[in-house]
Amino acid sequence: MWLRKGLFILISVCTLQTAAFSQQSQPVRVSMGKVALTFGLVEAGVPVYSVQFAGKEVVLPSRLGFRINENRSLDSNFEVVKIDTISVDESWKPVLGEVANIRNHYKQLTIHLQQKYRGGVQMNVLFRVFEDGVGFRYSFPIQPNLRFFVVSKEITEFNLTGDHKAFWIPGDFDSNEYLYTTSKLSEVDAWKFPMISPGKRDDNIPDQFSVQTPLMLKTADGLYINIHEAALLNYPAMQLHVNKSNYHLNADLVPDAVGNKAYMRAPASTPWRTIMVSDKATEVLASKMILNLNEPSKLANTSWIKPMKYMGVWWEMQVGKTSWNYTDNLDVRSPKGELKPNGRHGANTENVKRYIDFASKHGIAGLLVEGWNRGWEEWTGDWKEDNFDYVTPYPDFDLEEITSYAKAKGVQMIMHNETGGSATNYERHLDTAYRFMNAIGYNAVKTGYVGKIIPRGEHHDGQWMISHYERVAQKAAQHKVMVNMHEPVRPTGLHRTYPNFIASEAGRGNEWNAFSEGSPPEHETILPFTRLMGGPMDYTPGIFKLRNYAKDAPARQMHTTLAKQLALYITMYSPLQMAADLPENYEAHLDAFQFIKEVGVDWDDTQIVEAEPGDYLTIARNEKGTGKWFIGAITDENARLATVSLSFLKKGVKYVATIYADGEGADWKTNPEAYKIEKFIVDESSVLKLKLANGGGAAISLWPATAEDLKGLNEY
């Protein structure tokens, strides 16, 4: 898979890029298209890089390096031993994806550094320069004076050029489910929100000026910059500390239980630090740089990995209609030792069969059932370790009957393994849990990490948990089980390496509209530029009952129109998409539900039609193998006319466009459920004008027209 198409010869003799570079060694420069990367050593042998786009500075000279083993410096006293350059232009096919083929085109610069004194450490920095940005990682070769070491600090800086507009969430080590704030960098304040993660602020957000990645930025002169990481394995997640006075950012690694950052053994590499840059927002969304920086699939056989739509006995718990737990008090038992049911338990056989019936009738492939297994009375909030055993159903969940009923109805059951944050407990049950899934024929699992992590003192985003998520993905792969993780670290493109790690939540999903005051209409226009840069999100769209759904909060409402809920199936990429609402709410709008039934989940091609973070987004996708196209267009709180040229359609072919649009007077706040469905004949010359309501959207399916279609429908 790994093609080296020949050495790239660095022709342009390096000229001093900035005054900061020392005279000691000549800086080196590599460019691809408009993107250029410069590396050099400044005084005292300090390694420094900078990034330019079309001649403009994007990242000013910024330090590289580490502190290890308490306080040993690996950020100065270096000299350049050797520089290797290669150029790669290859392509590869993702198992599931937004496009069928991905081009991986970059120039690589490997800087071999060594500290100058006796016993000095060898450290390499690998830069890959793409047309849409730069990735770099550190690597430590086998060497006599460094084998095991502990990273106590990563020095990496990203020194920006100004007080850019930033789309950020607080640098919480244990939750990425915050609302995004759009502000200047100088206005970052990680303590402005009530802390979401359980625990103490000193433990989870010690730095008031820290943000998580992907950090989306926009400069005053219209550059879009995205800073994140790729291939986060065996290393803690990187947060960014914002120096509000000079707009310098520096890496801040999530610590472990004793304050260390990472335990390494040479040979070792860090994740890639990524800086995407473009003058078009659409190109940021179209970038495949993060995927390209991940290793190819480790799974030899991936034929069992399938994209899927699914329903869940889930939203009804989120809105308070039923409960995950079977009893309200584990201390109350019948004389025979039986639990006393609370009468509100959602995962009961009859209710599950109702969902199976609906999913089967409408061709929704999968069904998730939460709260099926014992432990939901005391599963989180108390740092309890042995909260679930992952194999024991509640008395009213007839596993055998449900399994055979679903099989007869052609519905694929999906396992639910919530850990409550007790990863140690999950790990010691992994073998048994996955053998159980195989035995009962579940081919996918949703895992969850709600609560404080056990091992106690570890964080969701620290090295131990990063390795845990990988262990789970590996274990699942061994058992041919697909994984959808909730509350893990934000993704970094690992679905390339572990294609069964099909999706994650790892951000503020639609569920927040169920149990809280929710997320504003702009939320879904920011997520693709932030959370989704790293990989598919199980956002759980498709809520049709947009008001009066929350049992204890009748005034609560969704922050979108119904048509926007449909558009999210396209704008929020995932090969695993939930139809999140209740069967009865879909029954009330079967015409609109038709879009959810039909929409694809795996794609040959994707066109980012128009995009502006925080404002709007229109994406068109070509379903894998069917020739059908689907379009989603969304806006923030402001109504908008989206203009969509269909020039991507196959030339000479007439298509039926079914447009699910906001209805007359639709408005997320006052009239969210107004929608209209229209059909037209279109072709590649058509230009759609989609009126999106405040907080609205539009969803469109396009498939080749039959003779009958052509006869019965109007041209657009």
Name the residues that contact a second copy, by CB under 8 A. Answer: 142, 147-148, 150, 256-258, 260, 263, 265, 331, 378, 382-385, 424, 427-428, 430-432, 454-458, 464, 467, 471
Task: Round to whole Å and give the CA distance between 470 and 232.
Answer: 10
Question: Between residues 432 and 685, which has the closer beta carbon with respect to a second copy?
Answer: 432
Question: Between residues 96 and 151, which has the closer beta carbon with respect to a second copy?
Answer: 151
Strand order in the sheet with 35-42: 28-32, 35-42, 46-53, 56-63, 157-159, 248-253, 238-243, 210-211
**Vertex 183, ends 180 and 185: CA angle to 5°?**
110
Task: Round to whole Å and give the CA distance between 338 and 715.
Answer: 65
**Residue 185 DSSP SS3:** helix
Cβ of residue 428: shortest distance to a second copy, in angstroms?
Answer: 5
Question: Between residues 121 and 506, which has the closer beta carbon with respect to a second copy?
Answer: 121
Q: Identify which of 99, 78, 76, 103 has the alpha carbon closest to the alpha carbon of residue 89.
A: 103
Amino acid (one-letter) located at 619: I
Amino acid (one-letter) located at 583: P
Check if the beta carbon of residue 279 is closer than 8 Å to that of residue 53.
yes
Provide DSSP, 579-644.
Answer: --S-HHHHHTTHHHHHHHHH--SSEEEEEEEEEETTTEEEEEEEETTT--EEEEEEESSS-EEEEE
Question: Between residues 39 and 376, which has the closer beta carbon with respect to a second copy?
Answer: 376
Cβ of residue 497: shortest distance to a second copy, in angstroms?
Answer: 18
Cβ of residue 487: shortest distance to a second copy, in angstroms?
Answer: 19
Burial of 148 (0-12, 13-18, 19+ CB in 10 A): exposed
Question: Between residues 433 and 631, which has the closer beta carbon with respect to a second copy?
Answer: 433
DSSP code for 252:
E
Task: Please compute, for residue 416, the number of CA atoms within 13 A of its CA located in the half-sphere on the CB side.
Answer: 21
Task: Round to whole Å and give the CA distance between 569 and 697.
Answer: 11
Question: Between residues 326 and 680, which has the closer beta carbon with respect to a second copy?
Answer: 326
Is 511 in the active site? Answer: yes
Question: Between residues 59 and 68, which has the closer beta carbon with respect to a second copy?
Answer: 68
**Vertex 213, ends 240 and 565: CA angle to 5°?**
150
Question: Between residues 409 and 471, which has the closer beta carbon with respect to a second copy?
Answer: 471
Cβ of residue 237: shortest distance to a second copy, in angstroms?
Answer: 17
What's the distance, Cα to Cα, between the start and end of the chain in Å? Answer: 45
**Residue 467 DSSP SS3:** helix
Cβ of residue 469: shortest distance to a second copy, in angstroms?
Answer: 14
Catalytic residue among 177, 229, 458, 511: 511
Cβ of residue 252: shortest distance to a second copy, in angstroms?
Answer: 20
Greatest distance between any 2 Cα atoms in the chain: 86
Question: Between residues 148 and 191, which has the closer beta carbon with respect to a second copy?
Answer: 148
Task: Round to whole Å and give the CA distance between 354 and 583.
Answer: 8
Cβ of residue 381: shortest distance to a second copy, in angstroms?
Answer: 8
Cβ of residue 386: shortest distance to a second copy, in angstroms?
Answer: 8
Cβ of residue 457: shortest distance to a second copy, in angstroms?
Answer: 4
Task: Round to whole Å and give the CA distance between 380 and 368.
Answer: 21
Q: How far is CA 167 from the centre of its chain?
A: 15
648: left (phi over 0), alpha (psi -120 to 50) or beta: alpha
Cβ of residue 251: shortest distance to a second copy, in angstroms?
Answer: 21
DSSP code for 43:
G
The backbone torsions φ and ψ at residue 266, rounded to the nearest 5 degrees and listed phi first, read -65, 140
Check if the beta carbon of residue 672 is closer than 8 Å to that of residue 557.
yes
Distance (Å) of CA 582 to CA 94, 140, 589: 33, 52, 11
Question: Between residues 284 and 430, which has the closer beta carbon with respect to a second copy?
Answer: 430
Tell me the angle at which helices 399-408 and 349-362 cross, rounded to the nearest 10 degrees.
10
With residues binned 3-state (H G I as helix, E B as strand, rest as coil), the percentages for the chain, rounded to 5, are 20, 35, 45
Cβ of residue 245: shortest distance to a second copy, in angstroms?
Answer: 34
Question: Between residues 172 and 256, which has the closer beta carbon with respect to a second copy?
Answer: 256
Residues tagged active-site = 511
